[in-house]
């Protein structure tokens, strides 16, 4: 009876209840995200946020990138800004640095000033220093292992590396400076010994080493065992010491970053693609060391791209350096040459090959020949009297 009375008294509610959609099992992601952001915002260090606003920093970017810095009890916003301004950074530069590297505000002024003195060892002036910080703020504000960093800077200077190269190392390969200096010294010794072992001379060793480090600084992150293994593998493949020395020079040390397995795969692919003997393959590799450096999928893609353009395997074999070009570059250059009536598949690939600057120079010469009128300097001129 009671149930009937309830049914009569609340029919609308029951009907409306039936029409209501079921409650979703999970809350929408956006709702969760908003709730989380609001909850974190309530825990943020108010003074830190206010100071960042004062210096025109976009707080939203910091929240998205590294919001944890806003939760820190101790920050040094004003002090870090003062240091940057002392170096010559304007308001826009300061805001940009802090937005891209928010953790700068949790670095103590003492450690940042120590880092400043360290980087000044390789910078000509403060203007150059602040430009580096603007470009690579994370490298500058990675203030750990400062004693190691200093010892490594001094070691590279003693070695003869130019400051511009050392500054490039600091910004793009900072891990090298966090290594104990003895580890870097050991790698330098291994490189020197390897150079001498394949026939390099004592007289040229320093020049070779400095050039190598300038071109490929990441080589110092390799292990001594990997370098030894690569050299031994190349010798097993029949390369003489002189040929290995050529490869080292042409590949700018990238050879040491390859493992024997990847080199073997690339060699096998090239041998099958060009249907050549071991001796012929060695000649191809010496002409185009990229045949060792590029992986099989990359070589296969580039071969297919050239073949689709009507270029033969024989042409590629004659000028293997063309494999250093991406399919997109090949297509672009062929279209440009075709516009002058030059059919690349019927000729030599030399005009297709080379750097951008070299190609444009060759293209200009072909274009000049195409439009230049024939002129005989000794022929009489027809002049109407």
Q: Give the C-alpha distances (Å, rounded to integers) separating 140 from 30, 88, 173.
A: 35, 16, 12
The Cβ of residue 246 has, within 10 Å, a number of other Cβ atoms equal to 16
pTM: 0.69
Exposed, middle or buried, 61 (CB in 10 Å: 0-12/13-18/19+)?
Answer: middle
Among 237-241, 249-253, 271-275, the minimum mean pLDDT is found in: 249-253
pLDDT, one tens digit per residue, over 3-25 is 444 344 444 333 333 344 444 44
HSE-CB of 222 using CA atoms within 13 angstroms = 25
Domain spans of the chain, in order of start: 44-142, 144-225, 259-370
For residue 360 the two structure tokens come to 């444009």
Tell me the torsion sign for CA atoms 288, 294, 295, 298.
Answer: negative
Lowest mean pLDDT among 18-27, 166-175, 211-220, 361-370: 18-27
Residue 166 contacts by C-beta under 8 Å, 6 or more apart in sequence?
122, 153, 156, 157
Question: Coil, strand or helix: which one is 315?
Answer: helix
> Rounded to an integer, what distance in angstroms lies between the CA atom of residue 146 and that of residue 78?
23
Cβ burial 96-106 (10 Å sphere, 16+ → b, else e): bbbbbbbbbbb
Confidence of residue 111 (pLDDT cuts 50, 70, 90): very high
Q: CB–CB of 251/289 below 8 Å? A: yes
Cβ atoms of residues 337 and 352 within 8 Å:
yes
| Most distant pair of Cα atoms in the chain: their distance | 131
């Amino acid at each position: 009876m009671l149930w009937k009375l309830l049914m009569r008294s609340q029919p609308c509610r029951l009907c409306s209840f039936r029409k209501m959609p079921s409650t979703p099992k999970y809350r929408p992601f956006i709702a969760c995200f908003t709730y989380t952001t609001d909850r974190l915002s309530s825990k943020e260090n108010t003074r830190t946020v206010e100071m960042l606003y004062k210096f025109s920093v976009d707080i939203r970017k910091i929240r998205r990138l590294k919001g944890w810095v806003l939760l820190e009890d101790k920050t040094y916003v004003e002090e870090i800004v003062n240091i940057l301004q002392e170096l010559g950074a304007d308001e826009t530069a300061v805001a940009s640095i802090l937005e891209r590297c928010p953790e700068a505000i949790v670095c103590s002024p003492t450690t940042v000033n120590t880092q400043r003195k360290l980087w000044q060892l390789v910078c000509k002036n403060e203007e150059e220093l602040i430009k580096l910080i603007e470009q690579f703020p994370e490298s500058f504000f990675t203030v750990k292992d400062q004693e190691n960093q200093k010892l490594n800077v001094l070691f590279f200077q003693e070695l003869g590396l130019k400051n511009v190269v050392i500054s490039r190392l600091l910004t793009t390969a900072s891990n090298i400076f966090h290594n104990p200096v003895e580890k870097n010294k050991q790698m330098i010794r291994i490189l020197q010994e390897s150079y001498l072992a394949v026939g390099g001379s004592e007289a040229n060793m320093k020049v070779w080493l400095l050039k190598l480090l300038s071109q490929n600084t990441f080589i110092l992150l390799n292990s001594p065992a990997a370098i030894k293994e690569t050299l031994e593998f190349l010798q097993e493949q029949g390369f003489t010491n002189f040929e290995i020395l050529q490869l080292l020079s042409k590949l700018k040390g990238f050879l040491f970053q390859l493992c024997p397995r990847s080199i073997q795969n690339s060699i096998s692919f090239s041998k099958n693609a060009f249907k050549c003997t071991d001796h012929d393959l060695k000649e191809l590799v010496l002409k185009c060391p990229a045949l060792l450096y590029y992986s099989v999928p990359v070589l296969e893609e580039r071969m297919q791209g050239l073949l689709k353009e009507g270029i033969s395997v024989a042409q590629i074999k004659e000028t293997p350096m063309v494999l250093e070009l991406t399919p997109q570059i090949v297509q672009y250059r062929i279209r440009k040459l075709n516009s002058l009536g030059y059919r690349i598949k019927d000729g030599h690939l030399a005009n297709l090959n080379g750097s951008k600057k070299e190609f444009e120079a060759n293209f200009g010469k072909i274009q000049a020949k195409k439009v230049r009128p024939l002129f005989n300097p000794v022929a009489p001129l027809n002049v109407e009297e």
